Structure 1
């Protein structure tokens, strides 16, 4: 009987099966089912985690792109503010230069009027009392320089 059983096992399973081990396993069938269920759930969870990892990586790439774009915009804004500040400073310098030019033009007009008045006075005095002109025409004393704001003189550098 035992020999017949062994032959049947070989034909059916292709090898000899340990019946005692099989009986022990069949007693813990529920445990084996739970283990198999656990393995299936773990595989499903691992698949879901991989999907979340892919999704999070895509979101991370989008976040990095947005951060780079924001940094670029902030840099451009900073540069615009710097340029605007420089332009305001140049506008101030231009205004002070124009004021200095206007003051100098007023001074030239005033000095030319004074020189003309002095020529007329010399001419009148020379006509009344004879020869009043010096042999050598003397120069008028220089006037004190006009005060200009510091840094408004363009040195060309």
Structure 2
């Protein structure tokens, strides 16, 4: 159905184009129309001349339209004449204003020349001076830009060096903190061992004597002193780690000591 409709539209368009071309060809043909004398009215003088070869034939409707068009053209011509008159008046006014402006410009140029001579001793080309000033300003801006770039480069280099120094210090502080934590962990393990030995000595029963032997008392005192010394060292390490932490270093988590088995009682 769509194909048939499309073919039908194409055929109708071709037929319409053919009709237009046919009508155009018919309009170009010269046709002789017989007229009677009472059907002819000569407009120029009201009388029909003997020779009608130079005349044009119009219908009354076409003649009326032509007369209306003539009236419209007369009105348009009047408006155009008025517009031309206004334009001529405006042109004269602009010419007068141009002459007055030229006189004013001439007076101002003369005044400027006199001021230049009185101030500089000669007439100066203002356009060349303005161009030179613009070029000077541009060169100054370029120099300022280069100086700013150099300053920024130096500042960037300085900050890069500072960052590298801070990173190195941070790394050293981290290593020191790690070392201290390992030391504290070793001391904690050793303290635990000593506590275990002390508990063993305290809980040990005398096997043959009622009171503690002098050697046991001496050993117990030595272990107690050693535990106290280890506790003081652990406290000192904690204070040092806290001080390093305040300075901005990193604190690693405490290494958990391995679970030690209960020590066997020492034979006395």
TM-score scaled to structure 2, two decimals? 0.32
Larger radius of gyration: 2
Q: What is the TM-score when the length of structure 1 is the normalising length?
A: 0.50
